[in-house]
Structure 1
Amino acid sequence: MPEPSARPTSSRNPSWDMLRGKFDGYEQFDSRNASEAHLVFAEGDMPNDKVSKFYSYLLSASIITRWFIFIVPILGIIWIPGILQLTDTTPNGEVWGVKFLWWSIWLSVVWGGWWAALAGSRLLPIIIRSTVGVIAIATRRYIDWASALHRYVAFFAWTLAMWVSFNPLINARQSKDASEHSVHAIDIIVRLLFGFYLCSAVLLFEKFAIQFIAGKFHERSYAERIADQKFAVRSLVVLYRHSSDIPGRSDTLKASHAKNASVNPSKILKKAMKGVRSVATTTTTAFGNVASEIAGSSVLQPNSPQAMVKTALESANKTKLLARRLFYSFAKPGADFIFPEDIGRFFPTQDEADQVFSLFDKDGNGDASREEVEVACQDFHREQLSIMHSMQDLDSAVGRLDNIFMTVYAVAALLILAVCLEAGLSTVITGAGTFILGLSWLIGAPLADVLTSIVFLFIRHPFDVGDRVVINKDSYMVKEIHLLSTIFLDSQGVFMQVPNSVLNTHFIFNIRRSGQMSEQFTFDVAYGTSFDDLEKLREIMLNFLKTERRDYQPSFDVSVVDFPAQEKMTLSAEIKYKTNGQMEGMKARRRNKWVCALKTSLAQVPIFGPAGDPGGVSGPTKYTQIPWEEVKAEEDRKAAEVAQETKSAPVGGWKLVDENAAMSGC
């Protein structure tokens, strides 16, 4: 069979050759690989003929070809009456006293105006941001809002164009001898177009109001947290970039593999899969390097420092491995702490280095242990998840609020259209008011709950997702936030849903937003305990607190609360932590350490409870019978000795508390 000859081409028309070559591959086009998500179809869901493939190819080729297919055929249909009138086929054809030609022109404005408005709403924010936004930086926020709401902006511009163009193209072109019915029909269209324009303006205002509420709310609630988290992540990226893999350690991020691997089929399979992943990562990195050269930024770099740190912060275990890698990379050999000078050379200024080091050195003592670095990185991990989940839940609440506003908008749009159609304004308002008043018994309570929840969530905003809060002396963890309710997790792992209208009536103590916290601890001692012993107890506890300065503030003040019936003496002291109680397990561990130290200090002084020495052995009970005269004489003698003694307090009185305690409380 002879081979088909190639189609001859003309060297004088290279543009046609290029265009023909571009469309030669449409037969191999796969709809599963379309450029837009809404154009993707599985195999078999689309016809397999050439016309369907060519149509799908044109839709996916570019936005220009896609819009060309959408716009031009409809415009051709619209212009059929106009062309017939231009060719004198129907020279007197008209609708409601307006000739076909003007209807074709106005309908072209309607159909093409939407696509023009949509294109302008997409391009205009980009142009304004590149021009006005460079000079007036404060306007970038509103430019971003307009970009996010480009479809509503386009709808507003479209309705305005339809209303404005209808008067000169249709209303002014109506013949003078048109019937009363035709005049009335055109008049109704004018009013409806004006009503649609007002409705689009109200809709655009509602969407901008939602954007304003969400933007201001996020800015007020999360701007500082997001800025702090970005600084922390950026600092970790810099440190990770200058860190090194620690030979011989398997507890750091990207640790070396074990050398003594035994021959095991499952291990061989895992090793083979790991090799495949390594090849894929290396290939992706190679492409990323080329893209980075072109774009001037980090693109498709799975093993870049930014990607490694962000991936590690998504997992609690990998976060701990990251913290250990950083600690062992910068700590001197055999040292238990890192110091500011160990990381200072990696930052441009000493102030920035000190600020980064303070992320780990929570107690401000000038060094950071491995535990401190791990705790700080775990805080970054939890904060990242908390911000992400909280913003997602609150965005969902904003969406619910948008739905409520859209319901109100639907009612307002109906009223606007009714008024534009020359219905009596007072009649419409009276009818709507009567209808709403009739439903007030049904929607009154839910509407009050909605308004209360909006004020509680967007104005008061007492907590975020992941915060530990105390309500009615019970501790809870915030799991989810919705517009009308909040879901908590109690200490027993039980989920509890509470309406926001109920939470609005309670005092809510937010532990995460609190600073350094303290706790009152009360204990009883024997009534005969001397103040000298209490001073010794205070000195011993102060030494303990100075040793454990990473967890506690170096302060131990003893307060005498009461001595009921002179049977015992009730004392109290504050446990002053260096952090808040957001991490309940860590707080319980530090509290136990403090209480155990107090018990040891009481035994060291020694100071006993009202029942005496708990470790002492009680002797036999003795009874003695003596004459009353001897007992009376002995009591009189002891009373006289006590009256003669003048036992005075030391100079300055008994301290028991810090001398600056009174001043610090002012």
Structure 2
Amino acid sequence: MSSAANRFTGKRVLKAGYSQSSVLQALETRAGSEALARRLWMSFVQEGKDNLYERDIAKNFGPTGKEEAKEMFEALDKDCNGDVSLGEMHLLCLQVAQDRKHVDRNMHDIGQVIKSLDNILSLIVLLLSILVYAAFFSTTLASRATALWGSVAATSFAIARTVQEFLGSCIFIFVKHPYDVGDRVDINNLPLIVEHISLLHTIFRQVDSGANVQIPNIINNSQWIKNFSRSKAMAERYDFAISAKTKFDAIENLNTELQNFVRDNKRDFQPDIDIELISVGNLKELVLRVEIAHKSNWSSETLRVTRRNKFLCALLAALQKHSICSPGGGGPPPVGSWENPGYSVTIADEEAQGARTAYEEREEAKRLKKLNADASIPNT
């Protein structure tokens, strides 16, 4: 328990023994992380309970460890709903394991960048030292100093762009440092994940295709970069059009339905949700905007997509429940749809031909009856 407290709070709460190495070893694999999550959760949760509460942790720390227990529970309760489920503990341990791997890779890459920079600067210092030493102790070189420095100036013009790229990359990595290895970023609206950082370039993995993309750091230095991993809880908006005949009460009922949805899914979404009428669409439609806030950022694409799908399905169900139709809609659903299913029955050819003949005879009788009725009316 002491090593777990040290891990989650970042402080040395109790003296950690060999169990610390066991925890770190378990975090190296997915199966070990899940086993660690179950072990921690079952060690704290009372028998017969389905969630972990702050009082369960405080009970194990004693009367003098309430502050440490509070910090540990706040680290576990990412959605701030007052309890921690076993699924949340699984996600937390997996996230901790993934973050450890990303930190190790990032430290390795930054170390390689510093090593490359050190080698380049050492080479420059060595060349300058040789030139200065030769200028002082060589009369031949001193007499040709003007021609030598002219050659140096010409060389500097030739490699000006390379030097500019080198200096820009150094500023980008060591001063701006907009991302680390494992971060989920957007560059020019292209979803990417940072895989490797070098001195002059960065290798990304595309979220949609999984392909690796190498982009020079000097190009990224002038781009707008959205870093989702460093962001706090994020929100997204959905714009959609509905029929202009929709009543205000129906929109209010839709808002109430969505508020009930976020309350029922408080582990995934924040309770703030609202519907805004942003346009009337030339009096032919009503354009609504729904903004929903997630409980976390979008660093995990799988989690973001799962939450998004859940909300969109709930939104569609709420629209259908309150009879809110698309522009130009509102009529009966087409035959064969799930709302108005169609049925077919297979019959013999003779039966079908007989039914058709009977139908034609009835129609002909109706036509003749109408003609006779018209003929019996006297002309005036």
Question: Scaled by the length of structure 2, what TM-score is found?
Answer: 0.80
Partner of residue 546 from structure 1, selected from 258, 263, 268: 263
- Answer yes or no: is the 8 Å Cα contact 1:359–1:376 preserved in 2: no
Distance 2:42 2:320 in 1: 40
The alignment partner of 2:312 has SS state of helix
After TM superposition, give the deviation of residue 610 of structure 1 in Å.
1.3
Name the counterpart of 2:292: 575
Partner of residue 611 from structure 1, selected from 324, 328, 343: 328
Name the counterpart of 1:438: 154
Unmatched runs of 5 consecutive residues or more in structure 1: 1-228, 242-296, 299-303, 619-666
> Could you tell me which amino acid in structure 1 is paired with residue 274 of structure 2?
D
The alignment partner of 2:192 has SS state of strand
Distance 2:10 2:119 in 1: 41
1:118-146 Cα offsets, whole Å, 9 max, x none, are: xxxxxxxxxxxxxxxxxxxxxxxxxxxxx
- Answer yes or no: is the 8 Å Cα contact 1:233–1:309 preserved in 2: no
Name the counterpart of 1:462: 178
* 465 and 230 in structure 1: CA distance in 2 versus 1, 3 angstrom threshold: farther
1:288-320 Cα offsets, whole Å, 9 max, x none, are: xxxxxxxxx95xxxxx31111101111122111
Residue 50 (structure 2) pairs with residue 336 (structure 1): yes
Distance 2:319 2:124 in 1: 69
Residue 360 (structure 2) pairs with residue 360 (structure 1): no
- Answer yes or no: is the 8 Å Cα contact 1:415–1:428 preserved in 2: no
Residue 30 (structure 2) pairs with residue 316 (structure 1): yes
The alignment partner of 1:463 has SS state of coil
Distance 2:141 2:6 in 1: 57
Query: Which fold has the larger relative contact order, with Cα–Cα distance below 8 Å and residues 6 or more apart in sequence?
Result: 2
After TM superposition, give the deviation of residue 431 of structure 1 in Å.
4.7
> Could you tell me which amino acid in structure 2 is paired with residue 412 of structure 1?
L
* 389 and 529 in structure 1: CA distance in 2 versus 1, 3 angstrom threshold: same
The alignment partner of 1:359 has SS state of helix
After TM superposition, give the deviation of residue 611 of structure 1 in Å.
3.3
Name the counterpart of 1:405: 121
- Answer yes or no: is the 8 Å Cα contact 1:339–1:368 preserved in 2: yes
Q: Which moved more, 1:394-403 or 1:407-416?
A: 407-416
Distance 1:544 1:591 in 2: 13
* 384 and 596 in structure 1: CA distance in 2 versus 1, 3 angstrom threshold: same
1:535-573 Cα offsets, whole Å, 9 max, x none, are: 111111111111111110111211112122211111111
The alignment partner of 1:557 has SS state of strand
- Answer yes or no: is the 8 Å Cα contact 2:9–2:68 preserved in 1: no
The alignment partner of 2:185 has SS state of strand
1:470-499 Cα offsets, whole Å, 9 max, x none, are: 011110010000000000000211111111
Residue 112 (structure 2) pairs with residue 396 (structure 1): yes
Residue 24 (structure 2) pairs with residue 232 (structure 1): no
The alignment partner of 2:109 has SS state of helix
* 360 and 427 in structure 1: CA distance in 2 versus 1, 3 angstrom threshold: farther
Distance 2:264 2:194 in 1: 35
Name the counterpart of 1:510: 227
After TM superposition, give the deviation of residue 430 of structure 1 in Å.
3.9
Name the counterpart of 2:67: 351
- Answer yes or no: is the 8 Å Cα contact 2:135–2:142 preserved in 1: no
Distance 1:377 1:479 in 2: 22
1:329-384 Cα offsets, whole Å, 9 max, x none, are: 22122322000111113444212211111111112121111111111111211111
- The 5 Å alignment of 1:77-476 reads 231-232=6-7, 304-347=18-61, 348-421=64-137, 430-476=146-192
1:216-240 Cα offsets, whole Å, 9 max, x none, are: xxxxxxxxxxxxx99535779989x
Distance 2:200 2:254 in 1: 53
Q: Which moved more, 1:476-485 or 1:328-337?
A: 328-337
* 430 and 379 in structure 1: CA distance in 2 versus 1, 3 angstrom threshold: farther
After TM superposition, give the deviation of residue 425 of structure 1 in Å.
10
- Answer yes or no: is the 8 Å Cα contact 1:232–1:359 preserved in 2: no
- Answer yes or no: is the 8 Å Cα contact 1:454–1:483 preserved in 2: yes
> Could you tell me which amino acid in structure 1 is paired with residue 255 of structure 2?
R
Distance 2:58 2:103 in 1: 29
Residue 244 (structure 2) pairs with residue 527 (structure 1): yes
Distance 1:386 1:474 in 2: 21
1:65-86 Cα offsets, whole Å, 9 max, x none, are: xxxxxxxxxxxxxxxxxxxxxx
Name the counterpart of 1:170: none
* 232 and 385 in structure 1: CA distance in 2 versus 1, 3 angstrom threshold: same
- Answer yes or no: is the 8 Å Cα contact 1:338–1:369 preserved in 2: yes
Residue 260 (structure 2) pairs with residue 485 (structure 1): no
Distance 1:230 1:561 in 2: 49
- Answer yes or no: is the 8 Å Cα contact 2:5–2:13 preserved in 1: no
1:609-636 Cα offsets, whole Å, 9 max, x none, are: 1132476369xxxxxxxxxxxxxxxxxx
- Answer yes or no: is the 8 Å Cα contact 1:542–1:556 preserved in 2: yes
The alignment partner of 1:535 has SS state of helix
Percent identity over the alignment? 32
- Answer yes or no: is the 8 Å Cα contact 1:235–1:356 preserved in 2: no
Paired residues, number = 330
Distance 1:534 1:547 in 2: 20
Distance 1:414 1:399 in 2: 22
* 361 and 568 in structure 1: CA distance in 2 versus 1, 3 angstrom threshold: same
Residue 254 (structure 2) pairs with residue 537 (structure 1): yes
* 423 and 384 in structure 1: CA distance in 2 versus 1, 3 angstrom threshold: farther
Question: Scaled by the length of structure 1, what TM-score is found?
Answer: 0.47
* 490 and 615 in structure 1: CA distance in 2 versus 1, 3 angstrom threshold: farther
Partner of residue 561 from structure 1, selected from 269, 275, 278: 278
The alignment partner of 2:274 has SS state of coil
- Answer yes or no: is the 8 Å Cα contact 1:232–1:380 preserved in 2: no
After TM superposition, give the deviation of residue 325 of structure 1 in Å.
1.5
> Could you tell me which amino acid in structure 2 is paired with residue 587 of structure 1?
R
* 317 and 402 in structure 1: CA distance in 2 versus 1, 3 angstrom threshold: same
- Answer yes or no: is the 8 Å Cα contact 2:185–2:227 preserved in 1: yes
| Structure with greater strand share of residues | 2
- Answer yes or no: is the 8 Å Cα contact 1:237–1:305 preserved in 2: no
The alignment partner of 1:554 has SS state of strand
Unmatched runs of 5 consecutive residues or more in structure 2: 336-380
* 388 and 432 in structure 1: CA distance in 2 versus 1, 3 angstrom threshold: farther
> Could you tell me which amino acid in structure 1 is paired with residue 193 of structure 2?
M
The alignment partner of 1:477 has SS state of strand
* 440 and 345 in structure 1: CA distance in 2 versus 1, 3 angstrom threshold: same
| Structure with greater helix share of residues | 1
> Could you tell me which amino acid in structure 2 is paired with residue 534 of structure 1?
I
Q: Which moved more, 1:414-423 or 1:389-398?
A: 414-423
- Answer yes or no: is the 8 Å Cα contact 2:9–2:71 preserved in 1: no
* 608 and 437 in structure 1: CA distance in 2 versus 1, 3 angstrom threshold: same
* 419 and 433 in structure 1: CA distance in 2 versus 1, 3 angstrom threshold: closer
Name the counterpart of 1:73: none
